[in-house]
Amino acid sequence: MQNEVLKAINERRSIRAYTPDRLTDEQTNILVRAALEAPSAVNRQPYHFTFVQSAETLSAFRNEAARLLKAQRPDMPEDFDILRGAPCVCFVFADTENTWSPIDTGIAVENMALAAHSIGLGSVILGMPRAVFEANAETWKPRLECPEGYEFCVAIAFGVPAGTKEAHPVREGLVSFID
């Protein structure tokens, strides 16, 4: 059986190369709705989504991440871009008092990834930005409008894909059926 939802689930990939095109307002609105329509435990919605399309802000974040990575792992190339060249990144902050917030955030992020794919955009979920918040929260939390009492949880980058990727290999033994 196949339908539009299953097709998006089957075909979504982590895209790590993008054209420089900005997302349109219509595209960002679709992503915002996908995030806000996600289910959350007790409907608490314990997250905040900051969509960044400012080239200046993204470039400052990229450069700081590259400096940090190089200091931690000298084998990394100096120009390694943790944001994968994406023209739009949504940074997701989560309420640290809410034990379900990482799960709620993951669901919202996957909703956005599927919505992006369904409108011809690529996306990649990003955990690596955490290193930047760990090293320099005092700069980046206010600059990215992280609410009081919230911490960086995960990010997701979007853009027009400039590359493709194979489906990921699936590990053995991940599923049991008890009939």
Ligand X SMILES: Cc1cc2nc3c(=O)[nH]c(=O)nc-3n(C[C@H](O)[C@H](O)[C@H](O)COP(=O)(O)O)c2cc1C
Residues at the interface with ligand X (CB under 6 A): 13-14, 16, 124-128, 154, 165, 168
Output 89 or 126, the one with its CB closest to ligand X.
126
Counting every residue written for the chain, the total comes to 179
- Least gap, CB of 1 to ligand X (angstroms): 21
Phi, psi of 107 (to 5 degrees): -65, -45
Nearest to 48 by CA among 157, 158, 152, 131: 152
- Least gap, CB of 14 to ligand X (angstroms): 3
- Least gap, CB of 102 to ligand X (angstroms): 9
Output 6 or 29, the one with its CB closest to ligand X.
6
Output 9 or 24, the one with its CB closest to ligand X.
9
